[in-house]
Chain A
């Protein structure tokens, strides 16, 4: 029989790699890279959605909503309209202040959007009406704004710990956690800050003929600070002196003389309750109700402080959450001694890890199911070839995903699950054709490697075109707009890549593995 002429790239590839000693090394390298990628790629539960936007807050004390609407909101909205890429503008006019929320089209670059917004506000500073306070521009930042970890700290012994002490303890801890790698922002919610409260009794005030203004003035005068003064001496040196005018604790405030009444001084404590306490004007608070492990009754823990931890963009939520929890556990006993207990109320790191691990398990199970179902049709050796090909394709796809700065999330793994059904096809078709050719009468007298090359080559054109067709069907999905498009993006990003790799693997490694694994009795011509 004359030599077979290879017609397709499939044949060339399989011929080139069939007896090449580098092929298994390449295979191991790909598998290793895939495994490393799986371990080091940042994990998240949901993919990042690039939402850009921000709020502009402008306050005019004493203005009514109608006034705010006319002098702030309407002109500001018109200015914002001048920015390209703005999707929606939401205006809110309330008593005393107005707010304009700007929402950019999904997918607009966040940095430049924020800049444009800030720029627009700054350009129009001169047009702000009288009595306006400087406007605040607050851009959204999903990475920083959405915490991956929240921890509730509560007082587990009611007696000796007040809200202020709790706050001070947690604030020290906040500092430590903020110092961890890749932690971007930590916030305390439900915080009661220390404050001197001077609560004036109206009755006493009028009894002593003192006005509230006098009280305020007296406190202000003693609480003022001045920098230290230096003056030169006649010998050419300097003398430094400062004015001590200090309030150190509650007693200093209590003994403040407000006025004289029939010759005797009236102290602040005479007309007001002066205390070192928390900010009573702050009505925001956070309460906790929890259940001990395996207990059935809930405990009302009362006021708590919630510590929230956010991560930097593109970093691994799993690792950061773990590190933060380790830091907390280190402090657990110390906190407990001081009467502070804590529970983790949100852990996205753990959730992301769970979701990813669950899906990786699903992937493995699915590969095994497919392998088993192929055994009765193709034989176990052929089935083994397909089973080895699949992890290689996934490994290479993962590595490319890592290189292109993607994260592992639910959608990426669903893209893999979806592509699983598609990528086994190429290998199955090649192996099936080798299998079929082996038993054809025409193949008698051919070397096994020749059969493999011919079988691969024969199937090449239609497999190429079919795989390209599937890739083409996936690509338009990348142009789906809106949040949904962003959310689904890993599918059009990864499935075509996996398919392209599956072709390569089917032509390069499947024939190689077939030659090594499948037994074929070559007949002597």
Chain B
């Protein structure tokens, strides 16, 4: 060990060689990110014992129509062996959970909404992870039950492994014209549907349908001795019904309402048309103030109109939300693909411009309708926004950590060069972090066919790694310094001795971290952290044992303050080429050794 290190740092060629290897592997590791060899994602999926299916049918659907869809789903799922029970919540949301909290589950109270909670057997006794199950069932279920009612949307909601978002991919379309928003949202949804990896696409807006307005003829109403409010009330009472009183004895403790309505048989209208409605209304009679019966159809006319859809707004602007989920893939790549497609497809109808500047809304698009010149803003929200925010904040935290560490080192060593060495040493562990993710991804793909992603927890692992590798460098520098100043050993020799002596505790602590993180690496959420720690500390160990000595030998600050360098103003020029042959054997064996270890 001592010999090897001494050999490296006593020849400037070998120093350069090590430096180049380090720089190359650094560049290679960083290049893995844009080249998609290592995929980034905020948080991976987690196997759970439950998932929820959200069902939305067409806006004017009846509860019976919604129930046909839920019954179909329940019947379909009866074939699944791992399901223990299913609860169908019709016209309301299921008991709230973290996902439902942000997905608006608590606000559901319409006849076209339903949620089905699916409980599975315990995840330890089940081979298939819940997200794999959802992945398998989703297309089949949509095929079997999605066409029963028009405009049905069946969406799967899994337990989020981290903080929940409205959906993995959320597009917010802002604009002033409701018609334009409606038109554009359909086009955007279509693009999402064509994008590979995106499923459960849903536009959060009401469907348009025909409804009927009863127009009271005021003149006739007054002439026949009735009032408009009376007419309104009776119509409501007849068809919708209401509790008109409460049972009033003291014998029973409960307040029991008395509900008045027409019975089901006479209330129902033959079919959904204007004439059928008029026929029904003609048989409903009102009593006027002279005690005479007046038929309702005499005092009103019926006109068909369009329904008035719900208006959604966010931050004082009208908005339509389009959501999509990612099917087992990271949200980053389908998002970019869909965005490129939008740029291409929508450009026939809109003038599209990208939003300037780099912030967490950097994927947004400005659309200007070519016909009407109205503007729309297409904003990407959801998990992508949260990821970008988190990565930005973690990046900031990382830079802050770097600065703090640097300042601490400067206070300790009173030298920028040595502090820089420690910092560079810690930063280089990123090689191991990225390469480690690549290796783990390949291994995991081989066994389970699921990707292993670079996640927010990987970044946390990297940040904590910096501290760990700083410790190794610190121990080396301290020891080498004390050897030089106290034992008066020649600089390069001292560095080599220090490295050799400190190699054992450095490797021991690395082994401790690697073993300590092994179980961490098997966890779906903190796997990234574990992998980052394992491979990062491997890289950090190699860096501190071979690269840090190189940097140290170049740093003049290694020498004690009172030490006067014999050639203080001369750059030490070692013969590069003649040393080459001497060290040929040595550095080749080292070369292959280093390379193997770096990639592992």
Contacts and interface: CB of A to CB of B under 8 A. Distances in A.
Contact of A224 (B92, B248, B267, B401): B248
Interface string B73-92: 01000100101111111111
Contacts of B310: 65, 92-95
B468 interface: yes
A324 to B, nearest CB: 14
A450 interface: no
A145 B257 contact: no
B98 A469 contact: no
B449 to A, nearest CB: 25
B90 A77 contact: no
B97 A420 contact: no
Given A199-B263, A246-B248, A417 B520 contact: yes
A370 B512 contact: yes
A466 interface: yes
Contact of A206 (B283, B394, B467): B283
B273 interface: no
Contacts of A152: 85, 87
Given A145-B101, A216-B244, A480-B393, A472 B516 contact: no
Contacts of A465: 408-409, 412, 474
A195 B263 contact: no
A284 B92 contact: yes
B405 A473 contact: yes
A407 interface: no
B109 A284 contact: yes
Contacts of A469: 405, 408-409, 467, 470-471, 474
Nearest to B164: A483
B284 interface: yes
B238 A483 contact: no
B555 interface: no
Given A90-B313, A479-B393, A472 B463 contact: no
A493 interface: no
Interface in B453-470: 456, 460-461, 463-464, 466-468, 470
B312 A248 contact: no
A194 B91 CA distance: 19
B515 A223 contact: no
B467 A246 contact: no
Interface residues of B, number: 128
A480 B398 CA distance: 10
Contact of B245 (A210, A219, A373): A219
Interface string A270-297: 0011001001110111111111000010
A418 B314 contact: no
B5 to A, nearest CB: 18
Size category of the binding interface on chain A: 35 or more
A473 B467 contact: yes
Interface in B249-296: 249-252, 254, 256-267, 283-287, 293
A214 B292 CA distance: 12
B248 A247 contact: yes
A266 interface: no
A486 interface: yes
B260 A472 contact: no
A147 interface: yes
A216 B237 contact: yes
Contacts of A422: 464, 467-468, 513
B445 interface: no
A247 B258 contact: yes
Given A90-B313, A467-B471, A248 B252 contact: yes
A482 B209 CA distance: 40
Interface string A124-159: 000000000000000010100111001010000000
B311 A146 contact: no
A486 B456 CA distance: 13
Given A49-B163, A366-B519, A465-B412, A92 B96 contact: no
B224 interface: no
B315 A219 contact: no
Given A145-B96, A200-B263, A190 B313 contact: no
B397 A477 contact: yes
A212 B241 CA distance: 11
Given A285-B91, A465-B412, A476-B396, A491 B390 contact: no
Interface string A213-224: 111100110011
A485 interface: yes
Contact of B526 (A65, A290, A414, A495): A414
Interface string A152-196: 100000000000000000000000000000000001011000111
B251 to A, nearest CB: 6
A418 B518 CA distance: 11
B12 interface: no
5 interchain residue pairs of minimum CB distance: A470-B467, A483-B163, A421-B513, A223-B245, A466-B471
Given A469-B408, A471-B467, A484-B386, 15 more contacts: A46-B98, A146-B97, A198-B261, A200-B238, A206-B285, A211-B287, A220-B244, A220-B245, A285-B91, A289-B87, A421-B516, A421-B517, A469-B474, A474-B467, A476-B398
Interface of A: 46, 49, 51, 55, 64-66, 68-69, 73-74, 77-78, 81, 88-95, 99, 140, 142, 145-147, 150, 152, 187, 189-190, 194-203, 205-206, 209-216, 219-220, 223-225, 245-248, 253, 272-273, 276, 279-281, 283-291, 296, 298, 300, 304, 306, 308, 343, 345-346, 351, 362, 365-366, 369-370, 373-374, 377-378, 410, 414, 417-418, 420-422, 424-425, 428-429, 432-433, 436, 461-463, 465-477, 479-488, 491, 495
23 contacts: A49-B163, A65-B308, A91-B311, A189-B92, A206-B285, A209-B285, A211-B293, A216-B237, A224-B245, A246-B250, A279-B259, A281-B242, A346-B117, A369-B515, A369-B516, A421-B533, A462-B478, A466-B474, A469-B408, A469-B471, A476-B401, A480-B397, A481-B393
